[in-house]
Chains A and B, each alone.
Chain A
């Protein structure tokens, strides 16, 4: 409860929660997917499901880039890091993610040159200051992050930097949503759309969800009030039998997205024919590769990559959790073999993964921030 007094507009939160209760049809069961891992984290941290009516089920979507990265890609990246003159640079989020032979951090302890960077441009800086080494940046992320990698590659090319490359694992959000909607065991009533990813792609790419799939989607911010307001907007559409794309996060997300970011992505990346997602399997045109015009800076073209494929342990039911068929705690490994300290499955790896969020805030009942006092 310690954050309760910090919430903005407690009266408004209370009124919005009341509005939700007014809008729900008690006869109906609502299944709403929040696509973005940041929203999953926020929903658990703020204990939002405690103030939602019991017949609203929030299903946690695929939008955690660390979680959906197949273990084989980590092994592939580390195989490059094992070369004698290579510095492997990655965001801190990647450091504890296990490959089959351990995480990047464990490889660092074994003597590989592995560095945390907080920006891809700092990987360029590392390359400039280590001219006798090759710096490989291990890139992950959705469209939120991909433009930064693209601009970094454009700067490296413009500078003629020879000892720098990117191992590209960028994925795209729309095909993942499509794969989930195409899944036969999936029934969803609407989507809470990603916030910062939409800053780049805008709201237009979601229109097919409304038009072709007849599902409402509301692009949403990260505060408790944002999430509650987005649920109100979704419920209103459902009550009126509508399916539209709406933007609750207008203060940050322009409808058309960020043109400069999209141009940079178009200059540097092209779609891969298919890419493997942990928990979801292969999804066509769901990831980015570096264009041949940037081949000199593409780690996959510069180095021979073993192309390792690792199947997740059969007992881990990440796919079912990712599609909302199972709740995290219903997986056989949850909280026993699979914990945030020792993750077996993808969704336990990052704090934005639904299993890790569930474990940290529900299972442990620690750190939980409750809104119930104000709502």
Chain B
């Protein structure tokens, strides 16, 4: 439930400034940046993502450690499934339930 998933900001689009494209182990999805408006991330920054919202900025090292933590907890696949489901894209394609 309180899964936090590390992702790297790929691009922040002009028309929807409160959202960014992030990369999570090769899966690219849009996440909401509204919770980081006091200290907005830039492309290349790493963030922790929870239910489609970037909730904190972290270092690259801590991001990689966090991904490993998820693997150790046996939750890496659930995390990727969550990210794939953002935007309903893979849900609509029937790839996740």
* B69 x A196 contact (CB < 8 A): no
* B65 x A223 contact (CB < 8 A): yes
The B29-47 residues at the A interface (CB cut-off 8 A) are 32, 34-38
Q: How far is the CA of A115 from the CA of B36 in the complex (A)?
A: 28
Residues of B within 8 A of A42 (CB): 73
What is the CB-to-nearest-CB distance from A154 to chain B, in angstroms, rounded to a whole number? 8
* B51 x A91 contact (CB < 8 A): yes
Q: How far is the CA of A138 from the CA of B85 in the complex (A)?
A: 17
Q: Which of A7, A38, A91, A260 contacts B72 (CB 8 A)?
A: A7
What is the CB-to-nearest-CB distance from A56 to chain B, in angstroms, rounded to a whole number? 22
Q: How far is the CA of A144 from the CA of B48 in the complex (A)?
A: 12
Residues of A within 8 A of B4 (CB): 196, 199, 252
| A352 on the B face (CB < 8 A) | yes
Residues of B within 8 A of A141 (CB): 1-2, 51
Most buried by B among A42, A252, A367: A252
| A6 on the B face (CB < 8 A) | yes
Q: Which of B37, B74, B85 contacts A116 (CB 8 A)?
A: B85
Given known contacts A141-B1, A261-B35, A117 and B85 CB-to-CB distance under 8 angstroms: yes
The B80-97 residues at the A interface (CB cut-off 8 A) are 81-83, 85-88, 91, 96-97
Q: How far is the CA of A14 from the CA of B2 in the complex (A)?
A: 28
Interface 9-mer from A120-128, A290-298, A306-314: A120-128
* A151 x B51 contact (CB < 8 A): no
What is the CB-to-nearest-CB distance from A303 to chain B, in angstroms, rounded to a whole number? 24
Q: Which residue of A lies closest to B36 (CB)?
A: A260
| A22 on the B face (CB < 8 A) | no
Q: How far is the CA of A261 from the CA of B56 in the complex (A)?
A: 10
* B2 x A197 contact (CB < 8 A): yes
* B53 x A251 contact (CB < 8 A): no
* A65 x B72 contact (CB < 8 A): no
Q: Which residue of A lies closest to B56 (CB)?
A: A199
Residues of B within 8 A of A140 (CB): 1
Given known contacts A118-B86, A119-B53, A196 and B2 CB-to-CB distance under 8 angstroms: yes
For the complex of A and B, list the 6 residue pairs with the smallest distance between their C-beta atoms, beginning with the closest.
A119-B52, A118-B85, A148-B53, A151-B34, A118-B82, A251-B62
B interface list, Cβ under 8 A from A: 1-4, 32, 34-38, 48, 50-53, 55-56, 58-59, 62, 65, 68-69, 71-74, 81-83, 85-88, 91, 96-97
Extra contacts, 17 of them, besides A122-B86, A252-B62 (Cβ < 8 A), are A64-B1, A65-B1, A116-B85, A116-B97, A126-B88, A144-B50, A144-B55, A147-B55, A148-B50, A151-B53, A196-B50, A199-B4, A223-B69, A252-B56, A258-B35, A264-B35, A352-B1
11 contacts across the A-B interface (CB closer than 8 A)? A42-B73, A65-B1, A92-B97, A117-B88, A118-B81, A148-B35, A148-B52, A197-B2, A199-B48, A261-B55, A350-B1
A interface list, Cβ under 8 A from B: 3, 6-8, 36-38, 41-42, 45-46, 63-66, 91-93, 115-122, 125-126, 140-142, 144-145, 147-148, 151, 154-155, 194-197, 199-200, 221-224, 251-252, 254, 258-261, 264, 350, 352, 367, 369
